Structure 1
Amino acid sequence: MAGRPGEDARRRLVDAGIRLLERDGPEALNARRLAAEIGASTMAVYTHFGGMAGLHEAIMKEEFVRFGRHLHAVPRTDDPVADLLALGLAYRDFVLANPQRYRFMIGLTGPGAHPPIGHDLIGEGTPTTLPEVNAVFEQNVETVRRVMAAGRIRRDDPVPVAAQIWSMLHGYVLLETIGVFGRDGVPTVLAPAAVNLLVGLGDRPEAAEGSLRSLASAAEAPAPAPRPKVRPGRRPRA
């Protein structure tokens, strides 16, 4: 069922903004180019979003929703440390696949292009004023809680611990996007940094390295062959 005209126009502008982000970077997001992308006048931006600030916020929300879905798709296992490491790799994969979008999402843009959404994470418990962004961070916090409950790291406030992990990962992926680590950054920089951080938080070195190995083994395991479809009442041929 088609949406209302206003909703359709908003969606088209958001999708156009994401296309421009991917193609030309955050600096390309202006009313003239967005309107031209969908064959409308610049007034469409002001009619549906009240201006570029409103459109920027809508694009950011949409991208964080997509980011959250990407992380949520990571399987959860009975090893929460391996799950935490897997979330980190999924985070990295998203950034490398969408570097321009990530620049915009995280605020690495020109003046005025990023909505003022920052929050005092330590004081307030969430990194921004947008629930779509906070939901992504909460996946990290929830996994940290599982790691603590399993006795792998010290029981502490999970929010600052999740923030430590986020800070390490964010710094790494930004450097990787500009080619600092070449092809071997994950085994030589990211994985050791993650193990060192986990050990600093109270995990045993052999346990942290074991979780890392189990994650690597799972990634290298071949996918199971699909089962043959069997029609009801018939046996598969040998």
Structure 2
Amino acid sequence: MASKTRQERVAAAREKAMVAVQAIFERWNKVADHVGYEGFELHVMRMGKVIDASLGPPSSVYRRADYDTDAAAAAATPIVPGPAILATSTCSLYIDGRYSNMNGVMHGGGYGVIFDMMTTTALGPLARPGFWDYLGGVSRTLNISYLKPCPLNSTVIVHAHVYHVGRTMALIKGWMTSEDGQTVYATCDHHKVAMATPKHHLVHRVKWDDQWEETTEGKDAKTAKL
């Protein structure tokens, strides 16, 4: 059987990362449905959409000319600080009137809850059972720089890059842009502290669980329990 081309390997890795990010939304919603949760982040997690994800730097940090063919890809030059990126997610959300302030643009608190939830999803591709699984712990600090007002009735794109992840701490950098990418509304530094996921939350299975169990590490962990 012919080996996969680089493009095929990249596509497969992207799909796997997408499943890991989507799993955070899916499990959150299953838990919310089970307990009848109606918190203020409900809309973000119900309506947010996963656009892209990666384990390691996304393809966008490589010069496109070097990335198009297998031969050239071997010598691809990463755009600094690309190599430092451990995982990424890109999500979208439609901003309606519930996020408004009295000036008719998005309230500063709206940026906060969106960044809090959506940048956390970038930990998904790095997760494994007992390690930054589900919602990736709790926030230690969330520092937001507000750059431009975000108009209502528009779609924002939230990009998140993980630059550090350890047993207890993680750092994610995020930015929120217009749908066309021409306007940056805000940026953030999100520091997370790991916490064990309640076992009763993990009974709500998602596609990621099956994907994990098919990996070598997942099979070894399953065998060790037998």
TM-score, structure 2 as length reference: 0.29
Tell me which of the two structures has the higher relative contact order, counting C-alpha pairs closer than 8 angstroms and 6 or more residues apart. 2
- By percentage of residues, which structure has more strand? 2
- By percentage of residues, which structure has more helix? 1
